[in-house]
Amino acid sequence: MLSDRYPPASLGGYEVAAAEVAEALRQRGHDVRVLVTDAPAAGSAAAGAAVPQPHVERTLRSRSGVPVSWSRLAEEARRQRDDRAALDRALDVGPDVVFLWNVGGVSHHALARLMNGPVPTVIYVFGDWPLRKFLAPQDLDPWTAIFAPRPEPAWRAAARAALRGAARLRGVATRAPALRFDHLEYGSRFMLEALERGGFRAGGSQRLVYYGLFGEYARAAAEPPPRAPDGRALLFVGRLWEAKGVHTLVEAFGILAARGEGAATLTIAGPEEHADYAAGLRRRAEALGVAGRVRWLGPVPRAALLGLYRSHDVLVFPSVYDEPFGIVQLEAMAAGCAVVGTGTGGSAEILEDGANALVFRAGDAAHLAEQLGRVLGDPALRERLREGGRRTVRARFLGERMVDAIEAHLVEIVRGARR
């Protein structure tokens, strides 16, 4: 398996899913080696960094945040040399298949070495990054853009050609070859159809494999739910940036307060990746007169999330962009929260309005306030949504089901390669 980040160095559900699948396949007797970049763990993700992971090698060089300039040619030569050594070690064990996850920080030349080689590859697609990255290789490895010929004065073209020659002597790749896509697995039908519309298809097989919950969340969905809180505790979990629609939630919370829903509280949990946006949310809460009833938790360790869900009544998922899927909604459902969400993108494949969630129009604070008023004011509705959510997880979104599908596909790929 290959990924940019991997727990404890994780940005979200994508990397967590990679680790859960790797461990499940290991428990089923498969020899799983994981190669990831040296991207550091940060913030709450650093918890548990000391846990031994002998099957994980963190020796690829991360490209995330690395500046690109001619003056850094020697540094880039070292990075690419390190990548080649890491790939040689990974391929020396003779893998049957290479399984790629989040590769946003992996260099294009490293991917080309794997994806264009003799070992079949499969990619688990959990976002639209193949359209943004793989169809424009220079975005994944911007070094190739430095060396690419372009209309320019003769002296600059000569300097660029000289630099290109110097780079080749140092072992730095100067072009981004087209990548071969053997097999694809999609985490939602929305992503499968979006990428097909963009002209992106595998040369071999592709499968729809929904994400599933593992461990304590799978157990929570199977057990009787804990006693519900008092019916007034709202929760948001996720990164604080505009696409997640937290501003819609703050506006709706203000509308509830103006209507007399004074007992409701709101907890906002997640990293503040965009400081200006987060500051604007706080200012708006002050202006609406609800700042005293909003808790800002910041990043929450994954180990503490289940308890956080269980201490709240309603999980609000207010995304205004097309979500690839929406793992947070499943976790909240398993924990016994009622869910109110927009159902954008792949999350529409989870939410059934009135059955396991209430759905509102993305960006429409008044509609969200209306739906929150319904679920807060009607205990029977809230309980029906809670049970509907847990039933949805049990029927469609358990980790065992996900691993069954992945294992069957990998076995099929390996058998086909051996014929």
Q: What confidence tier does 221 reach under pLDDT thresholds 50, 70, 90?
A: very high
Taking CA atoms, 139 is separated from 10, 15, 64, 176, 408, in Å, by: 22, 21, 12, 10, 33
- For 391-408, letters b (16+ CB in 10 Å) and e give ebbbeebbbebbbebbee
Query: What is the mean predicted confidence (pLDDT) over 257-280?
Result: 91
Distance CA 217, CA 235 (A): 17
As a whole number of angstroms, the distance between CA 257 and CA 41 comes to 39
The model's confidence at residue 362, banded by pLDDT at 50, 70 and 90, is very high
pTM equals 0.88
**Residue 120 is encoded by which pair of tokens?**
């079949």
Question: Is residue 160 predicted with pLDDT exceeding 50?
Answer: yes
**Domains of the chain listed by start with CATH number:** 2-212+399-418 (3.40.50), 215-396 (3.40.50.2000)
Average pLDDT over every residue of 350-358: 97
Distance of alpha carbon 376 from alpha carbon 324, whole angstroms: 28
Residue 111 CB neighbour total at 10 angstroms: 24
Weakest mean pLDDT among 8-12, 226-230, 329-333: 226-230
CA angle 175, 195, 192 (to 5 degrees): 135
Specify the DSSP class assigned to residue 351: -
> Which tens digits make up the pLDDT trace of 44-76?
333 344 567 889 999 999 887 778 887 888 898
Which residues are bridge partners to 314 per DSSP? 234, 338
Residues 6+ apart with CB under 8 A from 147: 160, 163, 164, 167, 174, 175
Predicted confidence at residue 45, as pLDDT, reads 39
* Residue 342 binned pLDDT confidence (cut-offs 50, 70, 90): very high
3-state secondary structure of 323: coil
Q: Which amino acid is at 93?
A: V
